[in-house]
Amino acid sequence: MRWTRTSLASPALVILLALALFPAATSADEKRLSVYSAVATYSLPVIDRAGHEYIGLLELLEPLGRVSVEKNGARWKLRYNAIDSEFVSGKTRAKIGGHDYLLPLPFLVENSRGLVPLSSLSTLLPRFLGAPVNFRESARRLLIGDVAVQSSILLDPSTPPRLVLNFTAPVNPTISTEPGKLHMLFKREPVVPPGGQSISFDNKVITQVGYSESNGAAALDISANAPLMATFSNGGRTITVSAAQSSATPGAAPPPPTATAQQNPTGTPAAGQITSASSSGDASHRVLAVVDPAHGGTERGAALTGTLAEKDVSLGFARLLRHELEQRGFSVILLRDADLNLTLDQRAGAANAARAGIYISLHAASQGTGARVYTALLPVESPSNGTFHAWNVAQARALPISRTVAAAIVSEMQKRQLRARGSSASLRPLNNVLMPALAVELAPGPNGLADLPSANYQQQAAAAIADAVAPFRDRMGVQP
């Protein structure tokens, strides 16, 4: 786990931390150029001068090869690998590799930084690199070499419909939702348009996919008449978007249980899913529980022993909790059912998009005994922070129920001779979740660290959580 405990952080400190983690709104609007190449992917600030956009030439070339600069008054001599070039401040005429080159606007030197106009890049860079580049100027995206990630988009019109997006390389977009729309933002991946700018479907639920790109990022927007969920598989190369629960087809049979973890032939989890729904019990009273195994992928969480990572304990624990909750009539989504990276925003976004009745995040720790049950400690912020404020305190309305459920879990665990205590923590993504939300951190039991990976021990804790949560089912709202 990694968060600020109540006891350690005053409200003022919490605000400072929040400000440090989230750049101010102005910097989010800052103009950026994204560069994608086989050797590096990076983003540079774009500088406005006299109504034109400029970029630092040294900063642009440095990640791509060996660069040295020699400054002599207004004269700038730059060597990139074996190519010598010369630029003069205030002049459009330059020399690259022994040939004359005319810039569309004058070269600028500011604070000993050499700036070239953004509009020159598609002709300037090939002189240095010896190969054409794909500069998508209006979107400020520069693709060097054969790096473009292509996509294919297929609609499976069965009920509920699914949109299957296949990519030629793994992708990890930031996913957010708003009513009628699921938004995928690709900042790190050179995703290019899937044919046209938008594709419409003759379907009642999923109606359109739109592609757009701007300020160094590409986006896919999926429009629908029902809440959508995104599922990752095929090592991040496939994203399946489906209706969270089909409200567009009233009276339809509940969907069959979906297969969860996909295994490749070597038996290691090759595919992860942001969501995997399974269902049992009486459909009319089914409440959706989102269980979130914390950490995953390259983010291992705490090292519980020399060989045991928190991310593996949280996943095993989550699978047991899924079973226990299903036994008590919940539908359960595991936010990951494999070893993959998910951002905190993706976790909160998936839970909110699924309109779950409860969100339970699972952690593990080598310190202490029993379990700690956390509810959100909301940051004290000025309402003038607008959307940031809303996102940071999304939990506010559900917090009283969260606290009641957390107290029930603590008492249920104590009944089972499991030491437990509750507290609040400024722990993301709890504060970003709209529904009752809590985090349970499993610590060693009577047998010490050996308990953490023990299915028996985890099972005992999972059963206590499920027993405590079940009586609140009716207060958690039934799925549409």
- Which residues of this protein are in contact with Zn ion, per CB under 5 A? 1, 294, 301, 363
CA of 48: how far to CAs of 67, 220, 368, in Å?
A: 24, 28, 55
Dihedral sign, Cα of residue 289, residue 295, residue 301, residue 307: positive
Least CB distance to Zn ion at residue 302 (A): 6
Q: Which is nearer to Zn ion, 96 or 440 (CB)?
A: 440
Q: What token pair was written down for 127?
A: 């002189």
Q: Which is nearer to Zn ion, 244 or 294 (CB)?
A: 294
For residue 45, the cross-strand partners are: 32
Sorted by sequence, the CB contacts under 8 Å of residue 16 that are 6+ apart come out as none
CA 298 to chain centre: 14
Distance CA 214, CA 210 (A): 13
Sorted by sequence, the CB contacts under 8 Å of residue 111 that are 6+ apart come out as none
Contact 86, 71 (CB under 8 A): no
Beta strands in 304-405 (DSSP E): 330-334, 358-364, 371-376
Residue whose pair of structure tokens reads 């990519």 in the numeric block: 167
For residue 143, the cross-strand partners are: 36, 134
Distance CA 48, CA 52 (A): 5
Peptide bond into 471 cis (omega under 30): no
CB-nearest residue to Zn ion:
1
Q: Which is nearer to Zn ion, 362 or 476 (CB)?
A: 362
Least CB distance to Zn ion at residue 428 (A): 11
Q: How many CB atoms lie within 10 A of CB 387?
A: 8
Least CB distance to Zn ion at residue 371 (A): 13
How much is the CA Rg of the chain, to the nearest whole Å?
A: 26
Q: How many CB atoms lie within 10 A of CB 383?
A: 8
Least CB distance to Zn ion at residue 293 (A): 10
Least CB distance to Zn ion at residue 441 (A): 7
Q: What token pair was written down for 161?
A: 């419909």
Distance CA 80, CA 69 (A): 9
Least CB distance to Zn ion at residue 376 (A): 15
Least CB distance to Zn ion at residue 361 (A): 9
Q: Which is nearer to Zn ion, 115 or 452 (CB)?
A: 452
| DSSP reduced 3-state for 342 | coil
Least CB distance to Zn ion at residue 145 (A): 39
Q: What token pair was written down for 101?
A: 């080159």
Distance CA 406, CA 95 (A): 69
Least CB distance to Zn ion at residue 323 (A): 22
Least CB distance to Zn ion at residue 343 (A): 14
Q: Which is nearer to Zn ion, 205 or 294 (CB)?
A: 294
CA 453 to chain centre: 27
